[in-house]
Structure 1
């Protein structure tokens, strides 16, 4: 996986820099999301792996499937990826583009898994505290998992805060067994 992200990085950076300069980050994000989803589809994956099709034919097939989701510059980007045999990297390019975009916009996606429902007031307090700690605008997704017994698990990028009772019991069990 690290190799794919290494290969995808210069393409994601180039796309991001162009989109940022053009003030078109959201359109590029949306277009890359569609292209990445298309590239992951089984039929398209076989097409991209097939030596029967030229790079230009592969690019045109992907462009056709994406439809109106791609603008003029994105069409050129897809063609460049095809010429360099990098169309399969579209999912990784999209992921890295989104990371660059979030860093520029100073936002972070936070997933909270709670043992019980969190009230709107609690969500606001949590979002405020996380926003202050992470120095970013927080976009929260909250879900419920009763197997946590109590507490919550907060995931923000690479940061994980496990405040669940299940997590604490697991740590206690590890300490007792060592």
Structure 2
């Protein structure tokens, strides 16, 4: 995984720079995310690994499947990926591109898992508190997991805040066991 990310980084940076120069971050993001999802499909991965098919044809097929009209710079980007046999990196390139975009726009996606269903008001209050704490605009996705017993678990990137009863019981058990 880390190796793929390392290989994908220069392509993601180049795509991000091109998108910024053209002021088309949203268009590039949407297409790269979609192309990344397509390239992650098991059947498409086999197609990308097929040495009998021309690399440029593989890029054209991915672009066709997206069903989006693409600008010349985007098409050129996909052709460069194809020429360098890097189309399989599309999922990683898309993830890195979206990370760069979120950093630029100062946004963050947060997953909140609670032991109970959060009301809209609770979600708004939590998003507001996290927005203040992280100094970013927060996009919150809430889910429910009764095994938490009580409380919430907040995840974003590398940050995990475990304020669940299950998490506290686990910490207590670890402390007592050592």
TM-score normalized by the length of structure 1: 0.95
Map of 1:31 onto structure 2: 31
| Distance in structure 2 (CA, Å) of the matches to 1:34 and 1:104 | 21
Q: Secondary structure at the match of 1:163?
A: strand
Structure 2 residues without counterparts, runs of 5 or longer: none
Map of 2:165 onto structure 1: 165
Map of 2:123 onto structure 1: 123
Residues 90-126 of structure 1 show CA distances to partners (whole Å, capped at 9, x for unaligned) of: 0000000000000011000011000112223322221
Q: Secondary structure at the match of 2:101?
A: helix
Query: Does the CA-based 8 Å contact 1:110-1:156 persist in structure 2?
Result: yes
Structure 1 residues without counterparts, runs of 5 or longer: none
Map of 1:56 onto structure 2: 56
Give the root-mean-square deviation of aligned CA atoms. 1.2
| Distance in structure 1 (CA, Å) of the matches to 2:68 and 2:113 | 36
Map of 2:93 onto structure 1: 93
Query: Does the CA-based 8 Å contact 1:34-1:69 persist in structure 2?
Result: no
Q: Secondary structure at the match of 2:52?
A: coil
Question: Does residue 71 of structure 2 align to residue 71 of structure 1?
Answer: yes
Residues 57-108 of structure 1 show CA distances to partners (whole Å, capped at 9, x for unaligned) of: 2222222222325333211111110000100000000000000000011000
Aligned-pair CA distance for 1:140: 0.4
What is the aligned residue count? 178
Question: Does residue 113 of structure 2 align to residue 113 of structure 1?
Answer: yes
Question: Does residue 138 of structure 2 align to residue 138 of structure 1?
Answer: yes
| Distance in structure 2 (CA, Å) of the matches to 1:15 and 1:59 | 15
Map of 1:103 onto structure 2: 103
